[in-house]
Amino acid sequence: MRTRPLGKTGIHVSALGYGAPYLSVHDRPSEQDAIRLVQQAVTHGVTLIDTADTYCLGPSDLHHNERLLMRAIHGQADGPRDLLVATKGGTVRTEQGWEIDGRPERLYQAICGSHAALGGDTPIPLWQHHWPDPRYSIRAMLAPVQRALEQGLVRLVGVANYTLEQLQQAREMLDVVSVQNQYNLWHREAEQDGMLEYCEQEGLVFIPWRPMGGPGLAHRLAEIEPLAQIARDRGISPQRLMIAWHLAKSPCIIPIIGTRQWDHLKDCLAADDVKLEPREMAQLDAIQPGQLAERSRVPAWEGMPPLAE
């Protein structure tokens, strides 16, 4: 698989990453199947795996996904030495779902918990602030991150779900290397608010979450006729085409594919071999909201999770 630079760090990772949440949330597979899937992804060239401290079933299950990944990685003797695990903190898990918690002391605890879950012997390769809390300033929330950097708990820092203004504030404090925001045909704010252009200009990595629309939308890409027609002409799945669209949009984009099914993951990883023509990109870029499939089920929240009490 091709690689892309992780910002200006000198590190290169696979052009496509694997998002692991579905291995630890509801309907999660057996541990044996989950470990096998991670190892298959690594064998096929994936060197960037995305996780978070709250990818789990509830408050008593925190860090499940991180610990699972460690068992998978350490159990694969021929795995790549340059594998980079990116985790996140800044939300809490309740029985109802996710909530945002930006308390500085809670963020530091999250970093310490992730550091232990990921082995505790080396710094967290990439720690990302999962979601800004409007009750706290960016400076207050990133102060514990700066502390963790100084203590050697974290190697690199990224942010997620930040606005451009918040990102610029964060960069006044820390050397931010990545931005992880939602970006797909349904959510193209990164094109409109200057975030994608800023990442290109400043040498930051942009990691789109839900690159195919997420649950309730990814399996309905074939209903978007312009996209489906290009996929038919090329003889590939609409999902693979969608990932190829992300790769072609910008050299700073590294899509992460979230799935619990190997066949789906393998199909999407093959997007690395798809080279879209300018005509095809123009057709995909021109897709209008009225042409998009509608979500088949109502998500737990829209916009952002609720704030923790």
DSSP, collapsed to helix, strand or coil, labels residue 115 as helix
How far is 163 from 94, CA to CA, in rounded Å? 26
Beta strands 91-93 and 98-100 are antiparallel
Determine the distance from the C-alpha atom of residue 208 to the mean position of all C-alpha atoms in its chain, rounded to a whole number.
6
Contacts of 67 by beta carbon, 8 Å cutoff, 6+ apart: 117
- Residue 40: count of CB within 10 angstroms of its CB: 17
How far is 122 from 7, CA to CA, in rounded Å? 21
Residue-wise pLDDT for 137-147, tens only, equals: 999 999 999 99
Length of the chain: 309
Domain 3-218+251-274 has CATH 3.20.20.100: yes
Contact status, residue 129 vs residue 141, Cβ threshold 8 Å = yes
Contact status, residue 103 vs residue 136, Cβ threshold 8 Å = yes
How far is 6 from 285, CA to CA, in rounded Å? 26
Strand partners, 180: 160
Comparing CA positions, the residue from 82, 81, 72, 61 lying closest to residue 31 is 72
| pTM exceeds cut of 0.75 | yes
Residue 216: the pLDDT is 85
Residue 298: the pLDDT is 62
Locate the domains of the chain by residue range: 3-218+251-274
Low-confidence ranges of the chain (pLDDT < 70): 76-81, 297-302
Residue 45: the pLDDT is 95
